[in-house]
Amino acid sequence: MTAEQIAQRLLDAQVEFVLAELDGTRFAEVVARDVDDVVAVGASMRTRDVVRPDDVVETVLRLLDQVGGSDIARDVVLACADAIYAHSAAEEYRLGDLVDRAAADALVTQVLSMRRLHDRALDRLTESPLVAELATLFVSKIVGDFVQQGRERAEKIPGVGSMFAIGQSAASRVLKASDRLVGDVAGKGAQYALRRTNDAIRDVLADPSTRPAVMQVWDLHADEPISGLRDYMSADELDGLLGAVREVGLTSRNKPYVREAVVECVDVFFARYGDLSLAELLPALGIGNDDIAAEILRFGPAILDAARASGALATLVRDRLEPFYTAESTLALLTVE
């Protein structure tokens, strides 16, 4: 028997052995064994010695760029949003089943306690001329509606309607004669009103009764089906909102600041956990050997069964092993003197 013939028979035997390792219950044993072996090897290696922070940064940025900007990511997000929006489960479960009241209460308490955020946000609103204009329109609308209601009531009283009309006509002539002055005063008055309004908002946010009031609103919603949230937004509006949020992400993901933020986060991770071994890091992340094996076994058998049925698995195994058995060095070992 020639060396080539011996090599071929050895190759056939090893292909059969590998295929048997990837079959049925034996595959589960192999996975459990190999996961344990890999983790055991990792016990002697520190995370910072095996994984470089720069490589992690590049991987995160690549994922943000390629995956975040892919067409399939956009399509899946919108499709999932539409499916969840119309899902019948939204009729079966209450909002309170989704979010614990204690968690909602903690969130409300935290937001209400953030006085620095409240002060800064309200102060920035006061500094905006556009907000002042909007406030002027808002106040004018309220006053206008009040005057209109007063006129409608006055016109129902004999003689008073005419007096009200004369007063309005006189006021109109005064406004036309001093439009610029009134506009300037209105603008300053709006900013003054805004500052007073901000003070009132601060008082409301700091009032001890605000949190119970907010939680009462939460309780009203918590006892309703999740589908009740559809009253706040249509499916098209949800798609539009998600599209706008995605656009913000797409246009921001490659900005220099994002890279700086990713670098800082990776540095923090390595500063905290870089000295842990790989075997210690997995439990710290809440991942055990059994979890890894379970996830492999969740998807692996079905893929292997399909590949075995088509013949692709045997071909793949043979293609990987054959170069060893046809190598000159291997044939030389098998040559019978």
pLDDT of residue 100: 93
CA distance 141 to 9: 93
| pLDDT tens sequence across 71-114 | 888 888 889 999 999 999 999 999 999 999 999 999 999 999 99
Do 334 and 8 contact (CB within 8 A), yes or no?
A: no
Q: How far apart are CA 250 and CA 248, in angstroms?
A: 6
Percent of the chain with pLDDT over 70: 81
Question: Is 270 within 8 Å of 47 (Cβ atoms)?
Answer: yes
**What DSSP character marks residue 234?**
-
What's the confidence (pLDDT) of residue 67?
75
Whether the pLDDT of residue 159 is over 90: the answer is no
Residue 332 scores a pLDDT above 50: yes
Question: DSSP secondary-structure letter at 46?
Answer: B
Integer Cα distance of 145 and 96 in angstroms? 40
**Domain limits of the chain?**
1-45+277-337, 95-224
The three-class DSSP label of residue 54 is: helix
3-class state of residue 172 by DSSP? helix
Q: Distance of CA 8 to CAs 14, 95, 99, 316, Å?
A: 10, 65, 63, 16
Q: Is the pLDDT of residue 190 over 70?
A: no
In three-state secondary structure terms, 225 is strand
Query: Looking at per-residue confidence, does 230 or 67 come out higher?
Result: 230
Using pLDDT thresholds of 50, 70 and 90, give the confidence band for residue 247. confident
For the stretch 104-157, pLDDT in tens is 999 999 999 999 998 888 888 777 777 766 766 666 666 566 556 655 555 555
> Backbone phi, then psi, for 274, in 5-degree steps?
-65, -25
Of 8-17, 45-54, 191-200, give the lowest mean pLDDT range.
Answer: 191-200
Contact by Cβ (8 Å): 35, 245: no
**Do residues 224 and 94 make contact, with C-beta atoms less than 8 angstroms apart?**
yes
Q: Are 27 and 300 in contact (CB under 8 A)?
A: yes
Structure tokens belonging to residue 187: 């603008």
Residue with tokens 């979890």: 291
